[in-house]
Amino acid sequence: MATPYLEDDNGKYIASTQRPDGTWRKPRKVRDGYTPQEEVPVYENKFVKFFKVKSDLPPGMSAPESQEQKPPGDSDTAGLSKAAKRNMKRKEKRKQQQEDGDVDSVSDAVENVSISEDANEKTSKSNPPNPPDDSSASAAAERAKKLKNLKKKLRQAEDLQQKVDSGEMDEVTKDQKEKLSRVETLRDEILQLERES
């Protein structure tokens, strides 16, 4: 909506307008070249302007040709910053490492396979061992987490015992007594978890 300007002998001014409560605003004098706030265009940086104008097609290519496959990498990284390009390279590297890890696990399984002359033995030995699935990996991670937690509790209990023995602490609270009494059970649990893993 354009602001209505009135011209007078004194120059241009914005006409008085009525507020929602019924009162009137004073007319405002306007200098030459003034642009009201609501008419000022919204700022767009170069990056935004570029992508508004840029078509998805490379220069010189028409719409029917665009249905053909584009070479990957060239058009994907054209408008990206250095950091974004670096991040894309890192993602590609991770994908390659995961694929290499899959190849390694399959090659390990193939090495474990032995060939025998008996047909029954062939079928039993040629089945590769199941690759470790997510549940076993998450179980191992959980055991490691629990082991770390138990070691921390044991360390705290031993520190507390040392303070009590040296006389730094005069009184031991109920919670501290419980912590001191659990030292042996903590050691047993740690040994058990270490044997499992």
**pLDDT tens digits, one per residue of 63-77:** 664 455 555 555 556
User: How far is the C-alpha of 143 from the C-alpha of 197, rounded, in Å?
Assistant: 8
CB 22 within 8 Å of CB 11: no
User: How far is the C-alpha of 53 from the C-alpha of 51, rounded, in Å?
Assistant: 5
pLDDT over threshold 60, residue 115: no
Kindly give the residue spans of alpha helices, DSSP state H, lying in the chain.
Answer: 46-53, 82-112, 119-126, 134-166, 174-181, 183-196
pLDDT attached to residue 130: 53
Check residues 15 and 55 and name the one with the higher pLDDT.
15
> Tokens 């609501």, residue?
38
Which range, of 19-23, 108-112, 142-146, 185-189, averages the lowest pLDDT?
108-112
Encode pLDDT of 32-59 as tens digits. Answer: 888 777 788 888 888 888 878 777 777 7
Report the SS3 class of residue 28: strand
User: How far is the C-alpha of 40 from the C-alpha of 20, rounded, in Å?
Assistant: 24
Looking at residue 18, what DSSP letter applies?
A: B
User: How far is the C-alpha of 57 from the C-alpha of 47, rounded, in Å?
Assistant: 17
> Tokens 């290499």, residue?
100
pLDDT attached to residue 67: 52
Percent of the chain with pLDDT over 90: 12
pLDDT attached to residue 112: 64
pLDDT attached to residue 23: 95
pTM above 0.85, yes or no: no
**Paired residues of 28 in beta bridges:** 14
Q: Give 56's contacts (C-beta < 8 A, 6+ positions apart).
A: 66
